[in-house]
Structure 1
Amino acid sequence: MSEHEGTFCLVVHSHLPWLAHHGSWPVGEEWLYQAWAHSYLPVMDLLRRFADEGRRDVLTLGVTPVLAAQLDDPYCLRAFHEWLGHWQLRARQASSLWGHDPLLRELGATEYQRSTKAIEEFETRWRHGFSPILRSFVDNGTVELLGGPLAHPFQPLLDERVRSFALRGGLDDTALRIGRRPEGIWAPECGYEPGMEHGYAAAGVRRFMVDGPSLRGDTSAARTVGSSDVVCFGRDLEVTYRVWSPKAGYPGHAAYRDFHTWDHRVGLKPSRVTGKTVEPADKAPYDPALAADTLGLHVKDFVDTVVTRLRALRARHGRESLVVAAYDTELFGHWWHEGPAWLEGVLRALPEAGVRVTTLRGALEAGHLGAPVDLPASSWGSGKDWRVWDGEQVADMVQANRELQARLLAGRSAGTARDAVRDQAVREAMLALSSDWAFMVTKDSAADYARRRARVHTERFDTLDSLAREGRTERAAELAAEFRAQDDPFGQLDARGLEQD
């Protein structure tokens, strides 16, 4: 290795459940369009600027198949375009309503400028969806792409045959969109049970992410798992939690724009955090200059944290070491307004501080591979175990999913012709098995919506399955077409693939 302080990998995981045609506000399509406007657009713009500068291996980008499906979907593209136009109108109205306060008047003008730029960006670069944009960054080496299973299921709770089908289907979906299969995946929720590496190897997966405690805190190098050649990377929590943790992190600073406080007349956020115990009505107006000053301090603090960590690891291990920080992409812009600017600042400042910035693949090429490891059952959720997705609060959902999988597998047929009804039934089952629903229930985040979504997809599967068993093919075809008009991710999904497992 050449002389560096060490190596830093930023991994960002882009995921939302299937939201199209399933409600709007407060949970539903609005969630998708806010994340699209405030995270996906600015992060892709950042990557484009790095690509234009000739920067390669900037970061490792996870994109789940179910999110990619929405960002390519014609209905979602049209609806998001309309959403951007409404954002522009709301910003114009805000400029009038907020005219009494100089800071808010300026914020309204800035919102109008941002919405106008977003419309221009969308109309010129996103007309054909997300995949052409993503493919360009993969082809020119700006990012390393991580894929994943079809609808982001919690894999340890799946029957191995369903798990294999979902993973192969997800990798195939990504290959269809960008022209190549990812070598790495973001395992949904970093969920792992011993032995899963063999399924990964069979599917062509060479590397995946786990949380730091799975490696007992020693995340200074990647490691092969068990007797396989599949490599895991651990998230360094000492560094990662500097930004975002269950209790603290930069986004909660008083100077930053407050995510939770709205002016409901215009659907915009006018306030800064001000203080954790300050009521929304008493929060101070957002001040971009104050936020920018704070952002500069937080960029420096993070770079100092990474350098200090790398030096400590070098002293402990006697070699250059690795730090992997991993976050949801939606943190940058959607949850944390200043996040994209912080991201750019850090990615520019770290190389200047002597840190090698690269991808997971690049870290292996730089020699950061340690001894094999046997991983425990784990996740990146509360307790670092499975309690979020397999706990008491969601025991009924876990049982329902187990029974759904049994019916799914029992319904397999030996037919050779592709069956549109069976394809849609399997598609509904995949959506029902999304990890998001249990997460939202356990965390009491739109729990009613989550339970309803899991139930709706399960009921649709059962309806199609029952009609097919009864030989009512005409009615089954009618309903399958009706359901497909709402839920049509993974158009290439072929239910016959379950026969391979």
Structure 2
Amino acid sequence: MGKIVFLLHAHLPFVRHPEYSRFLEEDWLFEAISETYLPLLRVFRSLDSDGIPSRMAVSLSPTLTAMLADGLLQDRYLQHLDRLIELSESECERNKGDEAFLPLAQMYRDLFLQNRHDFVELYGKNILRGFADLASRGRIELITTAATHSFLPLYQQYPETIQAQIALGLSSHWQHFGQRPRGMWLPECGYYEGLENHLERNGIEYFFSASHAVLYGSQLPRNGVYAPVQTPNGVM
């Protein structure tokens, strides 16, 4: 019987503007926390509490983890949530008696309230704690990516840049999770022949790339993209 690997990759560009009281692009992070990361953690916790065997890999980029761990952005996300809760409660009041829109307003109000509870009460405003807890109990495997999510094939002529991108990605992961990751998501799935040597020197055992990196390589593997491929130096 074949096996399948589930990997979820999470990345956002670094945006932090303390010189403004509110900054539009910071909403990208806030929306991702509300609509992706907190709901995802709830699913993981539900599987865990129900005793359902499950395991998958989650890649968190250094720029994303830096924002999620930042006190200013944590406080601003809480303010963002409070504004949404206030808005949704006013919408519930406005749509009283409207059978079409009242359930929708209530659904969003309940979602925002649940997000606030989880964010503050469960994770102390740092949702990386949720991922770290799941990883410590073997429910997920956390991996990383290059420091600024740069497209590494563009830097083939600058090996010191590639080394810095990989090393800083690993350092960031250690800073937030207290362990070295075994795997790495290649930014934008960008691979070139020889990149695996940099990965091996930094202790990376496996990486993820795009299917065309395999299909258009110098040698086509027997199973194509339907099985792991090992590079000459042993990195998968």
Q: Which residue of 1 aligns with 2:180?
A: 181
Q: For residues 311-361 of structure 1, give each alpha carbon's deviation from its aligned partner in whole angstroms, at most 9, with x where no partner exists.
A: xxxxxxxxxxxxxxxxxxxxxxxxxxxxxxxxxxxxxxxxxxxxxxxxxxx
The gaps in structure 1 that reach 5 residues or longer are 232-501
Question: For residues 123 and 141 of structure 1, do their structure 2 counterparts lie closer, same or farther at Cα, with a shift above 3 Å needed?
Answer: same
Q: How far 1:55 moved relative to its partner?
A: 4.4
Give the partner amino acid of 1:163.
Answer: I
Give the partner amino acid of 2:120.
Answer: E
Contact 2:191–2:213 (CA<8 Å) still a contact in 1?
Answer: no
Q: How far 1:138 moved relative to its partner?
A: 1.1
Contact 1:56–1:143 (CA<8 Å) still a contact in 2?
Answer: no
Q: Which residue of 1 aligns with 2:127?
A: 130
Task: Trace 1:477-496 onto structure 2 (pairs within 5 A).
Answer: none
Give the partner amino acid of 1:118.
Answer: N
Residue 229 of structure 2 is aligned with which of 219, 223, 238?
A: 223
Instruction: Check if 1:77 corresponds to 2:74.
Output: yes
Q: Which residue of 1 aligns with 2:218?
A: none
Q: For residues 176-198 of structure 1, give each alpha carbon's deviation from its aligned partner in whole angstroms, at most 9, with x where no partner exists.
A: 21111101011110011111000
Q: For residues 273-314 of structure 1, give each alpha carbon's deviation from its aligned partner in whole angstroms, at most 9, with x where no partner exists.
A: xxxxxxxxxxxxxxxxxxxxxxxxxxxxxxxxxxxxxxxxxx
Instruction: Check if 1:145 corresponds to 2:142.
Output: yes
Task: Trace 1:391-402 onto structure 2 (pairs within 5 A).
Answer: none
Question: For residues 171 and 55 of structure 1, do their structure 2 counterparts lie closer, same or farther at Cα, with a shift above 3 Å needed?
Answer: farther
Bigger relative contact order, structure 1 or 2, given CA contacts below 8 A and separation 6+? Answer: 1
The gaps in structure 2 that reach 5 residues or longer are 216-222
Q: How far 1:87 moved relative to its partner?
A: 0.9
Q: How far 1:99 moved relative to its partner?
A: 4.5
Q: How far 1:172 moved relative to its partner?
A: 1.2
Question: For residues 171 and 210 of structure 1, do their structure 2 counterparts lie closer, same or farther at Cα, with a shift above 3 Å needed?
Answer: same
TM-score, normalised via structure 2 length: 0.89
Does the residue aligned with 1:102 lie in a helix, a strand or coil?
Answer: coil
Question: For residues 56 and 182 of structure 1, do their structure 2 counterparts lie closer, same or farther at Cα, with a shift above 3 Å needed?
Answer: farther
Contact 1:187–1:209 (CA<8 Å) still a contact in 2?
Answer: yes
Q: For residues 403-460 of structure 1, give each alpha carbon's deviation from its aligned partner in whole angstroms, at most 9, with x where no partner exists.
A: xxxxxxxxxxxxxxxxxxxxxxxxxxxxxxxxxxxxxxxxxxxxxxxxxxxxxxxxxx
Question: For residues 41 and 155 of structure 1, do their structure 2 counterparts lie closer, same or farther at Cα, with a shift above 3 Å needed?
Answer: same
Residue 16 of structure 1 is aligned with which of 12, 16, 32?
A: 12
Task: Trace 1:261-340 onto structure 2 (pairs within 5 A).
Answer: none
Q: Which residue of 2 aligns with 1:32?
A: 29
Q: Distance in 1 between matches of 2:55 and 2:235?
A: 23
Give the partner amino acid of 1:147.
Answer: T
Give the partner amino acid of 2:199.
Answer: Y
Q: Which residue of 2 aligns with 1:192?
A: 191
TM-score, normalised via structure 1 length: 0.43
Q: Which residue of 2 aligns with 1:42?
A: 39
Q: Distance in 2 between matches of 1:150 and 1:55?
A: 34
Q: Distance in 2 between matches of 1:229 and 1:221?
A: 15
Q: How far 1:128 moved relative to its partner?
A: 5.1
Q: For residues 92-112 of structure 1, give each alpha carbon's deviation from its aligned partner in whole angstroms, at most 9, with x where no partner exists.
A: 122244447422111001111
Contact 1:18–1:67 (CA<8 Å) still a contact in 2?
Answer: yes
Q: How far 1:58 moved relative to its partner?
A: 2.0
Q: For residues 152-188 of structure 1, give each alpha carbon's deviation from its aligned partner in whole angstroms, at most 9, with x where no partner exists.
A: 1111112210111121111011012111110101111
Give the partner amino acid of 1:219.
Answer: V
Q: Distance in 2 between matches of 1:133 and 1:74?
A: 17
Q: Distance in 2 between matches of 1:65 and 1:55?
A: 30
Contact 1:57–1:144 (CA<8 Å) still a contact in 2?
Answer: no
Give the partner amino acid of 2:234.
Answer: D
Instruction: Check if 1:161 corresponds to 2:167.
Output: no
Question: For residues 121 and 128 of structure 1, do their structure 2 counterparts lie closer, same or farther at Cα, with a shift above 3 Å needed?
Answer: closer
Instruction: Check if 1:7 corresponds to 2:9.
Output: no
Q: Which residue of 2 aligns with 1:380?
A: none
Contact 1:64–1:149 (CA<8 Å) still a contact in 2?
Answer: yes
Q: Distance in 2 between matches of 1:117 and 1:39?
A: 13
Q: Which one has the largest radius of gyration?
A: 1
Task: Trace 1:418-497 onto structure 2 (pairs within 5 A).
Answer: none
Task: Trace 1:381-420 onto structure 2 (pairs within 5 A).
Answer: none
Contact 1:56–1:141 (CA<8 Å) still a contact in 2?
Answer: no
Q: Distance in 1 between matches of 2:61 and 2:159?
A: 20
Q: Distance in 2 between matches of 1:100 and 1:157?
A: 59
Give the partner amino acid of 2:225.
Answer: T
Task: Trace 1:359-370 onto structure 2 (pairs within 5 A).
Answer: none
Question: For residues 135 and 87 of structure 1, do their structure 2 counterparts lie closer, same or farther at Cα, with a shift above 3 Å needed?
Answer: same
Q: Which residue of 2 aligns with 1:116?
A: 113
Q: How far 1:132 moved relative to its partner?
A: 2.1
Give the partner amino acid of 2:91.
Answer: A
